[in-house]
Amino acid sequence: QERPTGDTKSADGNIQTEETALLNHSAQQPPEPTPGSSTSTRTWRQTFACPPQGFLALAVTNVALVALVWAVVWSITGTECLPGGNLFGIMFLYFFAVIGGKIFGLIKIRTLPPLPALLGMLLAGFLIRNIPFVSDIVQINLGWSKALRSISLSIILTRAGLGLDPKALKKLKAVCLRLSFGPCLSETCTAAVLAYLFMHLPWQWGFILGFVLGAVSPAVVVPSMLILQAGGYGVEKGVPTLLMAAGSIDDILAITGFNTCLGMAFSSGSTLYNVLRGVLEVAVGVAAGGILGMFVRYFPSHDQTSLSWKRSYLVLGLSMFAVFGSIRFGFPGSGGLCTLVLAFVAGVGWSDEKREVEKIVAVAWNIFQPFLFGLIGAEVSVTSLRPETVGLCVATLSIALVVRIIATFLMVCFAGFNFKEKVFISLAWIPKATVQAAIGSLALDTARSHQDEQLEKYGMDVLTVAFLAILITAPVGALAIGLAGPRLLQKAQTNNKKDEDGAEAGEEAEACEPS
């Protein structure tokens, strides 16, 4: 009994272990935070840490990347990348269009879909053109501007062709075709008549303007529909699926009609010759697109590596060649339709494998989207706009839009939708953006190539209406879809409960009728 006690007293290690444990215990306990010193102090330390982290590091990195891009291009091209040079103007416009899109993307309102980033890009280009000092140093060659917008157009058409779902089209059938053709043609004819009466445009140019306005914007409609679909609104009756499928056909119809009328407006000859030439351009576009689509469908073969990348390269390359080559071959109206048919035929053959190609094409669109909307905004100059012209453009746009809403409501009658769902579909068919930006300036570019001042005036009127259509209908349409969707569409779970309650009420009524 004495030996363990002696060992314990004489062992210095036990005493040192207790002291060490006590010191470690006190060191492990963090000091009690004083009021108001925890969160704010930690945030300031992270912000101004050395080396920097978080937002400050991100800002420094992005500025360094932009500066490096400019420095490399300047070291290669010299004065072209200095203020007043063509490449400087393109880079300046692109970066500010990206910033404008990011700013609009940060504007978020609860229960509403986000505002389209394309509005920020459009306004960035518009401000660059109309701020005196900035407009002097940003000078972009018209040939470069036209080429960049044509590349963007080919990418849009490729996405539209790949986005067509044959199964959805086969399932929805008649109502999808009615919703695609009816509102588009109604708005086109109304805008053509109003442009002829109010703006004194020739009939060919009136229909060019009408087909520019006749297309709905997938860049606004599709994200809004996906948000509603995720929330279960209108899913049981297939409202989101219907709108997304019909939107693609609507765009194809508008682009095909635009290209046909554009070819007729710039061709010399009798009316019969112009009509036959328009039909010929459509036939050439469909035939060429079908042949190229079948080629891309089987080449590259399935046993090759990097299959999706090769397919994406071929589809995008052939689409750009179709858009640019059709002008060289003298069939400017065939290029867009060829691209649509090419992408659709190839996508049908790839089946589920086309999703990887769609992702790559979407990346290409994200790269060229700031070019398209920034350049469209930069084409509109406040000094060249007359107040009466703007008023007539707004009047034409507004009346045609009202006719479109009424036509949309009538087209979905007798399709199994209730009154609220018909109203929502009519409101969802308002937004205009992507197609208007893609084809709105083509008429002006073609007029400039013919060096005719009167035709350039007509082209500028068409571009002005397209610009105002994007600026007015894109935010209004996005807000209308976000506000009206949860109020007018039935949610899936709520709809089930109502059906059960209605069934029980019907059984009770049937039980009471015999008595």
Phi (first) and psi of residue 271, to 5 degrees: -65, -40
Contact indicator for 102, 117 with CB cutoff of 8 Å: yes
Distance CA 488, CA 376 (A): 35
pLDDT score, position 437 = 84
Phi (first) and psi of residue 270, to 5 degrees: -75, 170
Q: Is 413 exposed, middle or buried (0-12, 13-18, 19+ CB in 10 A)?
A: exposed
Distance CA 355, CA 301 (A): 17
Alpha-carbon torsion (212, 417, 422, 163), positive or negative? negative
Q: Taking the CB of residue 182, how many other CB atoms lie within 10 A of it?
A: 17
- HSE-CB at 480 with a 13 A cutoff on CA atoms is 18
pLDDT score, position 361 = 92
Distance CA 391, CA 394 (A): 5
Distance CA 404, CA 184 (A): 7
**Token code pair at residue 280:** 């010929």
pLDDT score, position 499 = 44
pLDDT per residue as tens, the chain (515 positions):
444 444 444 444 444 555 555 555 555 555 555 545 566 676 666 666 777 777 778 888 888 988 898 899 889 888 888 888 889 999 999 999 999 988 888 887 776 667 778 888 989 998 998 888 888 888 888 888 889 988 988 898 888 788 777 776 777 678 888 888 999 999 999 999 999 998 889 988 999 999 999 988 877 887 778 778 778 888 888 788 788 778 878 888 888 888 888 878 887 766 677 778 778 888 888 899 999 999 998 888 888 888 999 999 999 999 999 989 988 887 877 888 899 889 989 998 888 788 899 899 999 999 998 998 898 888 888 877 778 888 888 899 999 999 999 999 999 888 888 899 899 999 999 988 888 888 888 888 888 888 888 888 999 889 889 888 988 888 888 888 888 888 888 887 644 444 444 444 444 434 434 33
pLDDT score, position 60 = 86
Residues 6+ apart with CB under 8 A from 278: 260, 261, 263, 264, 333
Q: How far apart are the first and last CA of the chain?
A: 100
| Residue in 510, 497, 483, 512 with CA at minimum distance from that of residue 227 | 483
Distance CA 213, CA 227 (A): 26
pLDDT score, position 108 = 76
User: In the chain, what are the domain boundaries?
Assistant: 49-82, 83-492
DSSP state of 33: P
Contact indicator for 435, 255 with CB cutoff of 8 Å: yes
Distance CA 51, CA 417 (A): 60
pLDDT score, position 507 = 43
The CATH label, of 1.10.150.170, 1.20.1530.20, 3.40.190.10, 3.30.379.10, for the domain at 83-492 is 1.20.1530.20
Distance CA 320, CA 336 (A): 9
Contact indicator for 332, 326 with CB cutoff of 8 Å: yes
